[in-house]
DNA sequence: AAGGCGAAATGACAAATATCAATGAGCCGC
DNA sequence: GCGGCTCATTGATATTTGTCATTTCGCCTT
């Protein structure tokens, strides 16, 4: 058993047969026999908040299915500016680029305690050579990644600071949900293309006006209807 | 011969065998026999500047390979705001989403006279069922689309107005090139998340300071090294 | 050549955001 | 419990960008 870094915890070989998110993962369409026929080199790993799953420029050796938690994908400009280009959650697939490129283009860092299944890229390639449905599933994943990137552009990089923050809160809260866990103001700014101070001010203003409350640290309750109304003004 | 709209011009059935950009298109990896074995329903179409190739929400029936020209992909927010999320050029593939979704998620409009090859999605699906290398090629395309979306976020939606404009100019100019054709200030703003006026002012300022010149309308010459230096300050 | 049209450029001003600096709150180790 | 951290918040101010109105320019029509 090999430990790649001192922060992560290898939790063992994944039991895909009894996977609780089986219906949502990359292999959802495959018959059990198909991927049982190989020795499955799929490991479960738990990353504590703040730990790096992989860094930009590293050899891309694996894809990851997120079982729980929250991951930020950061991209750097030549001049050092950085921007968070995506946030990934439960059932999202991390590191798809490994299928095509030799190095990871982003840095992936866990913002909360995050559990993943690690799928070695060679293994996925092998499976995909004989299983057309896996390709279908994978194209769906590429498409999902692309539309979330587009969403990033239109929702989180367009309009006033307040609109951007509100859109992100609603995205984090998800459908019908009113609560969401948030992260540092610095990351909030990096997601929205704003400075830390502006992000902080805007959050504070929303709190003062009663649109959100913070019953415990970094955990927020959102008045969803009011926030949605804010977007229209 | 069916004409879908009054603006576009059907130029005939494509002669893929002698395609001048054959090495760069989706079918690059396929043997001629393979895709000659079907009747090839690939048409060439020329769109004049300003014409719509497809609109968001329309049934996604085809993919398009760009042979020449420039296409903007626009996305709309519920509140009516619009944002250009990508610009496509020669050899780029348009409407990949048709492989996975039933409707186009974007509106695609030609900014210059644009020649395309139209690939019916059913045909591409059919080919892809038997040709693994087509899948490889297609994953490469998804990946390319995704990294240009990421680039949109980090380069064109981050930093000051001047930095954004300069990054776009350098992107349009391409490697080593010094000249580029540009479009309206309104579209420039929609690409960069700026108002038309700010886009105009910034361009005017760059002209006054000698970083760019406009020998003929909408055609610019860029002082590439100076522009690159601007990005660092 | 004159007039009309639309896009670009510019000006004046308001609003939003960045920047720099200071303060305050929570957390940790001692 | 007491410094000594880090990070959120806030304040004061400078800069940038948006907004609205006006002018200029190029092009097209007549």
Distances (CA, A) of B14 to A210, B43, B44, B47, B63: 61, 5, 6, 15, 14
Q: At what angle do helices A121-130 and A132-156 cross, to 10 degrees?
A: 120
Q: Which pLDDT score, from 0 to 100, does residue B35 have?
A: 63
Model confidence band, residue A4 (pLDDT cutoffs 50, 70, 90): very low
Rounded to whole angstroms, how far apart are CA atoms A222 and A206?
A: 10
In chain B, which residue ranges form alpha helices assigned H by DSSP? Answer: 32-36, 121-130, 132-156, 161-173, 185-192, 196-208, 224-232
Average pLDDT value over all residues in chain A: 88
The CATH number given to A159-232 is: 1.10.10.10
Residue B127 (CA) to nucleotide D2 (C1'), in angstroms, measures 73
Model confidence band, residue B102 (pLDDT cutoffs 50, 70, 90): very high
Residues 129-148 of chain B whose Cβ lies under 8 A from any Cβ of chain A: 129, 132, 135, 138-140, 142-143, 145-147
Residue limits of CATH 1.10.10.10 in chain B: 159-232
The mean per-residue pLDDT over the stretch A218-222 comes to 88
- Fold entry, domain B2-148: Jelly Rolls (2.60.120)
Kindly identify which residue of chain B lies nearest to residue A95, measuring between CA atoms. B143
Rounded to whole angstroms, how far apart are CA atoms B91 and B114?
A: 12
Which bases along strand C come within 7 Å of a protein CB atom? 7-11, 16-21, 26-27
The mean per-residue pLDDT over the stretch B183-199 comes to 96
Secondary element (H or E) of residue A155: helix A132-156
* CB pair distance less than 8 Å for A139 and B99: yes
Rounded to whole angstroms, how far apart are CA atoms A104 and A98?
A: 7
Residue B164 (CA) to nucleotide D16 (C1'), in angstroms, measures 14
The mean per-residue pLDDT over the stretch B97-112 comes to 96
Q: Which pLDDT score, from 0 to 100, does residue A227 have?
A: 93
Cβ-Cβ pairs closer than 8 A, A with B, add up to 107
Q: Which pLDDT score, from 0 to 100, does residue B36 have?
A: 65
Q: Which pLDDT score, from 0 to 100, does residue A24 have?
A: 79
pLDDT per residue over A162-178, tens digit each?
A: 999 999 999 998 877 77
- Burial class of residue A163, CB neighbours in 10 A (0-12, 13-18, 19+): buried
Q: Which pLDDT score, from 0 to 100, does residue B4 have?
A: 43
Test mutation, B98, B150, B156, B193, chain A, max A CBs within 10 A = B150
Distances (CA, A) of A66 to A43, A71, A115, A172: 12, 9, 6, 16
In percent, how much of chain A has pLDDT > 90?
Answer: 62
Contact criterion met (CB below 8 Å) for A21 and A91: yes
Of B105, B138, B153, the CB nearest to A157: B153
Instruction: Check whether B117 has a pLDDT greater than 80.
Output: yes
Instruction: Check whether A160 has a pLDDT greater than 90.
Output: yes
Average pLDDT value over all residues in chain B: 88
pLDDT per residue over A53-102, tens digit each?
A: 999 999 999 999 999 999 999 998 877 788 999 999 999 999 999 999 99
Distances (CA, A) of A51 to A120, A126, B147: 20, 30, 24
* CB pair distance less than 8 Å for A153 and B153: yes
Q: What is the pTM of this model?
A: 0.90
- What are residue B208's phi and psi, to 5 degrees? -60, -40
Instruction: Check whether B3 has a pLDDT greater than 60.
Output: no
- Distance, in angstroms, between B101 CA and closest chain A CA? 9
- What are residue A54's phi and psi, to 5 degrees? -160, 165
Give the best-scoring range by mean pLDDT among A34-38, B186-190, B227-231: B186-190
* Window from A125-129, A150-154, B154-158, B192-196 with minimum mean pLDDT: A125-129
pLDDT per residue over A179-203, tens digit each?
A: 888 889 999 999 999 999 999 999 9
The residue whose CA lies nearest the C1' of nucleotide D7 is A184
Residue A143 (CA) to nucleotide C6 (C1'), in angstroms, measures 39
Contact criterion met (CB below 8 Å) for B56 and B98: no
Q: Which pLDDT score, from 0 to 100, does residue A37 have?
A: 61
Contacts of B146 in chain A (CB under 8 A): 96-97, 142, 145-146, 149
Instruction: Check whether B39 has a pLDDT greater than 70.
Output: no
Taking each continuous run of H as one helix and of E as one strand, the counts in chain A are 7, 12
Instruction: Check whether B19 has a pLDDT greater than 90.
Output: no
pLDDT per residue over A110-158, tens digit each?
A: 999 999 999 999 989 988 888 888 888 999 999 999 999 999 999 999 9
Of A79, A101, A158, the CB nearest to B83: A158
Model confidence band, residue A36 (pLDDT cutoffs 50, 70, 90): low
* CB pair distance less than 8 Å for B154 and A77: yes
Kindly identify which residue of chain A lies nearest to residue B95, measuring between CA atoms. A143
Instruction: Show which residues sit with Cβ under 7 A of nucleic chain D.
Output: A 184-186, 196-197, 200-201, 203-204, 207; B 160-162, 193-195, 197-198, 217
Residue limits of CATH 2.60.120.10 in chain A: 2-148
- Burial class of residue A7, CB neighbours in 10 A (0-12, 13-18, 19+): middle
Rounded to whole angstroms, how far apart are CA atoms A208 and A205?
A: 5
Rounded to whole angstroms, how far apart are CA atoms A92 and A105?
A: 17
Of residues A70, A20, A65, the one with CA closest to residue A48: A70
* Window from B3-7, B79-83, B137-141, B172-176 with minimum mean pLDDT: B3-7
């Amino acid at each position: 058993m090999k430990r790649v870094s001192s922060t992560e915890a290898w939790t063992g070989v994944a039991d895909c047969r009894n996977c609780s998110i089986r219906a949502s993962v990359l292999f959802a369409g495959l018959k059990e026999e198909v991927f049982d026929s190989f020795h499955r080199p799929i490991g479960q790993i738990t990353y504590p908040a703040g730990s790096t799953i992989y860094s930009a420029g590293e050899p891309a050796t694996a894809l990851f299915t997120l079982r729980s938690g929250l991951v930020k994908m950061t991209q750097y400009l030549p001049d050092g500016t950085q921007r968070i280009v995506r946030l990934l959650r439960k059932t999202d697939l991390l590191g798809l680029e490994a299928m095509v490129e030799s190095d990871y283009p982003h840095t992936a860092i866990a913002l909360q305690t995050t559990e993943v299944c690690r799928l070695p890229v060679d293994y996925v390639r092998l499976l995909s050579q004989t299983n057309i449905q896996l390709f279908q599933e994978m194209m769906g994943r590429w498409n999902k990644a692309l539309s979330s990137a587009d969403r990033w552009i239109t929702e989180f990089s367009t309009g006033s600071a307040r609109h951007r923050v509100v859109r992100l809160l609603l995205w984090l809260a998800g459908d019908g949900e009113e609560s969401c866990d948030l992260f540092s103001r610095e990351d909030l700014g990096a997601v929205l293309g704003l400075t830390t101070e502006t992000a902080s001010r805007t959050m504070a203003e929303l709190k003062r006006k009663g649109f959100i409350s913070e019953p415990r640290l970094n955990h927020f309750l959102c008045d969803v209807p009011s926030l949605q109304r804010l977007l229209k003004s």
